[in-house]
Amino acid sequence: MEASTKKELAVTFLQDLAHMSPDRLREIISEFVGEDLAAVMFNYARQVIKAKPDKAEENASSMLILGYLLRVHEEGDIPPEHPPV
C-alpha cells in the first residue's frame, strides 16, 4: 500500500518502527535527529512526565504532536501568527 495521507504515512511509519531492530532505530536517530536534539527531547519528555505522571497517555500524545510540529517548523511551513507589515 502506498501511503498518501498524513495519517497513512504515520501509521505506516509507526508499523515500520514496531518491527525495526534496535540497531537500525539507533542508526536512524543518529543520522536524522542527532545526539544533541535527542538529548533535548529526552530532557523535555522527562520534565513533562515528572510534572504530571498521572497523565502519561496525554503526555505521550502531546510529545508525538510536538515532534511533528518541530519538523514542520524546521521546514519553514508554519507561518507567523501575524504576517510582517
pTM, two decimal places = 0.66
The predicted-structure confidence for 12-31, as pLDDT tens digits, reads as follows: 999 999 999 999 999 999 99
Number of domain units in the chain: 1
> Distance (Å, rounded) from C-alpha 85 to C-alpha 12?
42
Looking at residue 2, what is its pLDDT?
Answer: 54
Residue 56: domain span: 20-74
7 within some domain: no
82 within some domain: no
26 within some domain: yes
Q: Do the Cβ atoms of 78 and 69 come closer than 8 Å?
A: yes
5 within some domain: no
8 within some domain: no
Residues 6+ apart with CB under 8 A from 29: 38
32 within some domain: yes
What's 2's DSSP letter? -
Residue with cell 505506516: 12
